[in-house]
């Protein structure tokens, strides 16, 4: 069994515009990034794609600009690269990409203020009860972001995203079963989900 390879990039000191990166993105991805709701969102998506290109070259020797197909829930797959799986995510000025020979989901989440009303939509009753007892606002925000990050990587792994609902499974149970690995780096959580 091959474990997913995970790549992380901090582009906070990079001053490229989306147009500067066009030749590296290819037409399909450039148009996708250019249509995003903000310039920053487009750049985040572009850097995630460039990190994918780097990971594919490092792990599988793929140098062509990747093209995607999508499942009914919007999860991307590589065209013409059967048996190679990937997942990308971005938050603030960080991007993460995981590549594997088996299905994989990855998420990165910057720690930010979250309220319990929002959290109730993605936590199980047990998780909600546990976080409701956290009185320190910084610790509460960090825990909510950690749980969201884990659940998001699982939804991306299954290919169903939030459409499946996140209240039907416990984040830490997935971690205990060996399906999820997560880490905190500075003000971010990173979670990767795979078959094992």
Homologous superfamily in CATH for domain 5-106:
4'-phosphopantetheinyl transferase domain (3.90.470.20)
The pLDDT score that the predictor gives to residue 72 is 87
CB 175 within 8 A of CB 182: yes
185 is written with which tokens? 């780096």
The pLDDT score that the predictor gives to residue 178 is 85
Q: What is the pLDDT of residues 165-175, one digit of tens each?
A: 787 888 999 88
In Å, what is the CA distance from 141 to each residue of 104, 122, 125, 126, 138? 26, 14, 18, 17, 5
In Å, what is the CA distance from 142 to each residue of 13, 17, 99? 25, 32, 27
Q: What is the pLDDT of residues 7-43, one digit of tens each?
A: 999 998 888 999 999 999 999 899 999 999 999 999 9
Query: What does the domain layout of the chain look like in residue ranges?
Result: 5-106, 110-182
CB 103 within 8 A of CB 159: yes
| Band of residue 164 on the pLDDT scale cut at 50, 70, 90 | low
Q: Does residue 116 or residue 88 have the better pLDDT?
A: 88
The pLDDT score that the predictor gives to residue 157 is 92
The pLDDT score that the predictor gives to residue 166 is 83
pLDDT at 58 over 90: yes
Q: What is the pLDDT of residues 101-130, one digit of tens each?
A: 999 999 999 999 998 888 888 999 999 999
Question: Whole-model pTM?
Answer: 0.91
First-residue to last-residue Cα distance in the chain: 9
The pLDDT score that the predictor gives to residue 162 is 67
Q: 52: how many CB neighbours lie within 10 A of its CB?
A: 24
The pLDDT score that the predictor gives to residue 115 is 86
The pLDDT score that the predictor gives to residue 117 is 87
DSSP string spanning 59-104?
HH---SPP-EEE-TT--EEETT-TT-EEEEEEETTEEEEEEESS-E
Q: Helix, strand, or coil here: 145? A: helix
Could you give the CA distance from residue 68 to residue 28 in angstroms, rounded to a whole number? 9
């Amino acid at each position: 069994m091959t474990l997913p390879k995970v790549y992380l990039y901090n582009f906070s000191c990079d001053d490229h515009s989306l147009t500067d990166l066009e030749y590296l993105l290819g037409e399909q991805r450039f148009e996708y990034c250019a249509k995003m709701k903000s310039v920053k969102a487009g750049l985040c998506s572009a850097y995630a794609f460039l990190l994918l290109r780097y990971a594919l070259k490092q792990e599988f020797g793929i140098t062509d600009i990747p093209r995607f197909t999508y499942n009914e829930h919007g999860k991307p797959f590589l065209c013409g690269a059967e048996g190679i799986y990937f997942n990308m995510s971005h938050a603030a000025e960080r991007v993460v990409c995981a590549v594997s020979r088996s299905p994989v989901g990855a998420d990165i989440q910057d720690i930010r203020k979250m309220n319990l009303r929002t959290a109730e939509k993605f936590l199980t009753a047990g998780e909600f009860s546990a976080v409701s007892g956290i009185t320190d606002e910084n610790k509460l925000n960090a825990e909510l972001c950690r749980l969201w990050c884990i659940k998001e990587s699982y939804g991306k792994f299954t290919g169903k995203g939030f459409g499946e609902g996140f209240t039907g499974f416990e984040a830490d149970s997935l971690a205990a079963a060996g399906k999820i690995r997560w880490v905190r780096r500075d003000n971010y959580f990173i979670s990767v989900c795979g078959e094992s």
